């Protein structure tokens, strides 16, 4: 799963670099921590996790807390980076690389109507002459 996360992060990294605003303020150079300093910070994180888990008014969902911490860490890099759990990654992967069957079209909702994003080559929709931008208003007549 970590490999998939890193691949996803690596894929989005070049796009993020290109999307950076040109008039961004000049930032201070990054001062990297030593391994010892990193482990001290991680100890703080673990202490905060334990304190929150043990003292929160309601029963804490540890998995949700940890995933939120990981998501926050990646979100601090830029607004396009985020952590995906295994289930979320599978859903993302299915939606972005999905296999299509049936009619063979990608659709969206547009002001309450169904609009075709694109037909998929060599599918029934493509063979029927459906084009990107078409609206589906009726089925069977």
| pLDDT tens digits for range 76-127 | 999 888 998 899 888 887 776 655 457 888 888 888 888 999 988 888 888 9
Residue 6 lies in a domain: yes
37 with 61, same domain: the answer is yes
13 with 56, same domain: the answer is yes
Residue 48 lies in a domain: yes
Residue 82 lies in a domain: yes
8 pLDDT higher than 80: no
Residue 25 lies in a domain: no
pLDDT at 38: 96
Q: What is the mean pLDDT of residues 41-60?
A: 96
Angle between helices 86-97 and 2-18 (to 10 degrees): 60
- Has this prediction a pTM greater than 0.75? no
93 with 109, same domain: the answer is no
Name the residue range of residue 110's domain.
105-136
Residue 24 lies in a domain: no
Q: What are phi and psi of 86, to 5 degrees?
A: -60, -45
Q: Which residue has the tokens 């169904």?
A: 114
Q: What is the mean pLDDT of residues 45-59?
A: 95
Half-sphere exposure of 17 (CA within 13 A, CB side): 5
Domains: count for the chain = 2
Binning pLDDT at 50, 70 and 90, where does residue 19 land? very low
Residue 127: both structure tokens together: 């063979």
54 with 123, same domain: the answer is no
């Amino acid at each position: 799963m970590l490999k998939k996360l890193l691949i996803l992060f690596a894929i989005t990294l070049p796009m993020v670099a290109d999307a950076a605003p040109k008039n961004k303020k000049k930032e201070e150079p990054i001062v990297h921590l030593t391994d010892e300093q990193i482990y001290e910070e991680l100890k703080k994180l673990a202490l905060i996790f334990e304190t929150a888990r043990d003292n929160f008014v309601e029963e804490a969902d540890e998995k949700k807390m940890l995933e939120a911490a990981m998501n926050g860490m990646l979100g601090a890099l830029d607004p396009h980076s985020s952590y995906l759990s295994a289930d979320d990654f599978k859903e993302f992967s299915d939606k972005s690389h999905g296999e299509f069957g049936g009619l063979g079209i990608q659709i969206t909702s547009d002001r309450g109507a169904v609009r075709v994003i694109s037909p998929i080559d060599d599918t029934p929709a493509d063979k029927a002459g459906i084009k990107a931008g078409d609206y589906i208003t009726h089925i069977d007549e």
